[in-house]
Amino acid sequence: MESSIEQDEGVLNQGWKNAQRLRNNLKSGVRDVDKNTYSNLPVKKLLRRSPLFSRRKNTSLVNRIIWLLLIWSVVVYILGVAGLWWSSNKVIEDNFSQQATDWVAKLDELGTPLYAANDEFLFQSIEEQVHRFPEVSYLRYYEAEKNLVIAQYTSEKLGDAKVPKLTSVMIEELRSNIDSSQPVFIQTADDSLSLFQVAAPIVTRSIRSDSMMDFDLDEDTEEIYKIIGYLELGLDFSEYQDKLKKNIFIGSVAVAILFLIAAFMGRILVKRSLRPLTKMKKPLEQLARGEIDVHVDGEGDEEIVAIANALNTTIKALKSRDEELRKMANYDSLTGLLNKHNFNIQLKQEVLRTINENDSSALLFIDLDQFKHVNDNLGHAAGDRLLKQVADLLKNRIRSEDVIARFGGDEFTVIAKSIKEPDARMIAEAILKAMQKFVFVEGGQAFNIYCSIGVALIGDDDFTAEEIFSQADISCFHAKSEGRNRYHMFDLPEQEELRKSADISWSKRISDAIENDYFTLFYQPIVSLHGDKCEHYEVLLRMVMEDDEIIHPNAFLPAAERLGVAIDIDYWVVRNALRKLSEFKADGRDVYLSVNLSGRIFEAKDLIERVQRYISQYNVDTDHIIFEITEQTAVRHIEKARKVISKLAALGCQFALDDFGVGFSSFNYLKRLPVDVLKIDGEFITDMVNDPVDQAMVQAMIQIAKTLNKKTTAEYVQDAATLEMLKRFGADYAQGYYLGKPKRDITRKNYDDALNRVDTNILPF
């Protein structure tokens, strides 16, 4: 009670600075901030629209990173503001009780004289002092015995609000806690106000002693507390609370602005950092469209440079792969020359060029004379080496603008551009002389390899590419028939005379063969690749001359076609094949025969009747008969072929499409032809092991057949590696010299030998 009013002012000033909010108001204030201050921020909407959480597949990496930074900034901002409110609340809660006690202690000291002096002017000085502090809403002093208010102060801002006085229960609680270290209680005065009621007893202290002379400083003395009154104080810090909210709001807005500025600057920095990555978008889109003639620029960070380098390496590999594929599709894998497919394209283009430019060129068809001898005696590897050496020799004998190709097997073709007949003869003679000087050495043996050349001019007459090639082929045949190791220039009048003479000669021979059975049938095994043990053979026609010479059908069938007797030959083959099938059946052999028909068969009006008659005559099972016709013939007579095949199928016979793949580009006709078997043309099989393009074509044809529920037979199987590859590809049947050559009489043992070749385990290649 010795302190002055001036000293107390400093204590009161420290009190309102530290006691900024009341306990429950702080709690409700934080809740208000959580619910109201930030409830209008579209955070959920922001998240839904942000590319970071978007379900759209096509998003920008730059935007994704920027949105990620923005969302993270918002999260940090919200957490920071919430943390500020929480920490403020915690500080005020921890200091409120202590500050309230300090207020009570000071007002106790100031108000104690009131009970001794009962001086009204003394309380006025207290009012003047308290009036300076807006947080004090009211002040009451109570008399201890009757609990009556002896002095009180009410702030103007309290208005007409009435705060209930201390009840007897409150006073009793204060009385009972007189001995506690903090005999003060705090409670909410009114729910409608930010007002707290603070109460404490006003006491005097004295020491009880029996005698003043017996006083001992070391002796514990008992203090006596006497309640002379009660103090009640109303504290309202809502004004400071509003200031705190305002300051935090202003600070939050400032922080938000700083975040926005940082986000904007971050967006610029991120876009600038990722600009090299963004530049990759266009070349990558081109790459996705299949355009590989692109380059990806790499700059900036080392990761982006590494990505660009990896992409450029990938593009380089793709270019290399495409170049290799183009090379495989257009070039012979063994010699490096153009292949048959690409050469045909080049020939057609050259024919058009000579017509458009009124120019002339020459086509040379070159066939090696001793290749078969080398291949059979020294093996395929030696034959391959021979072909490579011949290819190099031919490349050195032609001009850079000329075109050279390996047409197939030991056949080569050359297009000599912009030359006349004399120049074509000179080129042919130069090649002949070079081949005559050429010696092939293998295994200590030396071989002279000669060739026969057929020459046809391009551009002199209105011939198609196919016709010109046929002229060169015929001329090469003439060169061989004239003794080999020479060339022959195609001459149209000469060819017409030769053909007429040949037709007249063949007419009599064919008629005699039909009437006197000078024809004979050979049988070549067709072996199942998947465990079918039944015997399958293709029936092959041959002519027997007076000296027992066997004539291949290629020698007489073209003449038969021109003479109109091809149908008669077809009937002879069908009749004798069914007769042979009957003999096999009588011997107890379960044999299936494939019988070839010519294109003329579709002109026969009594084909079905004759087949029915032969079936009845020889009593054969119709499902053991497979009729074959070439793909080109079937396509050329598509409607007639469909009707004939359907009628033969109605009899129970099967049908195979021979030379399948020649018209591969229009294979959709298969939907219209009810055939049972597709025989893959030997052109795709012969060099399949070494030619990836042929492998792809064969696999595609087998897959087409499986899709259409048809069987496949591969022709011209020459070795074990080809057979094993066909097995892996899923072909159903195979035939060729490796499995068995055509023979007049073939036994079950011959067929079992062919089956054993299929069943033999072959090392993978």
Q: Which residues are catalytic?
A: 410
Alpha helices in 150-228 (DSSP H): 168-176
Cα–Cα nearest to 166, from 227, 84, 98, 255? 227
The closest alpha carbon to 551, from 507, 516, 607, 513, belongs to 513
Question: Cβ–Cβ contacts within 10 Å for residue 309, how many?
Answer: 12
Contact 651, 615 (CB under 8 A): yes
Contacts 24+ apart (CB under 8 A), 43-52: 43/74, 46/71, 46/74, 47/71
Which CA distances in Å does 562 have to 111, 475, 559, 570, 655?
A: 145, 20, 5, 15, 26
Nearest Cα residue to 155 out of 43, 224, 259, 239: 239
**Rounded to an integer, what is the distance from CA 266 to the centroid of its chain?**
34
d(CA 325, CA 182): 96
Report the alpha-carbon distance of residue 83 to residue 79 in Å, rounded: 6
List the Cα angle 481/483/484 in 5-degree steps: 90
451-458, strands of its sheet edge to edge: 403-408, 411-416, 361-368, 451-458, 487-489
- Which residue type is seen at 59? T
Count of C-beta atoms within a 10 Å radius of residue 466: 12
Residues 417, 398 contacting (CB under 8 angstroms)? no
Q: How many other C-beta atoms lie within 10 A of the C-beta of residue 697?
A: 20
Q: Which two three-digit tokens encode residue 166?
A: 């201390």
Interatomic CA distance for residues 393 and 553, integer angstroms: 35
H-state helical runs in 396-482: 421-437, 465-481
HSE-up (13 A, CA, CB side) for residue 648: 31
| Cβ atoms 298, 307 nearer than 8 A | yes
DSSP code, position 600: G
Q: CA-CA distance, 712 to 681, in Å (whole number)?
A: 11
The dihedral through the CA atoms of 372, 374, 376, 380 has a sign that is negative
